[in-house]
Amino acid sequence: MTYFKRHIFFCLNQRDNNEASCGDHNPQAAFDHCKKLVKNERLAGPGGVRVNKSGCLDRCAGGPVAVVYPEAVWYTFVDNSDIDEIVESHLKNGVVVERLVLPDSVGR
Domains of the chain: 6-100 (3.40.30.10)
What pLDDT score was predicted for residue 16? 86
- Give 58-73 pLDDT, tens digit per residue: 998 888 999 999 999 9
What pLDDT score was predicted for residue 93? 96
Report d(CA 66, CA 81) in Å as an integer.
Answer: 15
What pLDDT score was predicted for residue 29? 96
What pLDDT score was predicted for residue 106? 86
What pLDDT score was predicted for residue 44? 96
What pLDDT score was predicted for residue 85? 98
Q: What pTM was estimated for this model as a whole?
A: 0.93
Report d(CA 16, CA 34) in Å as an integer.
Answer: 26
Q: Name the stretches of the chain with pLDDT < 50.
A: none
Average pLDDT over the chain, rounded to an integer: 94
What pLDDT score was predicted for residue 1? 61
Which residue(s) pair with 22 in the sheet?
none
Let me know: does 69 contact 9? Beta carbons within 8 Å. Answer: yes
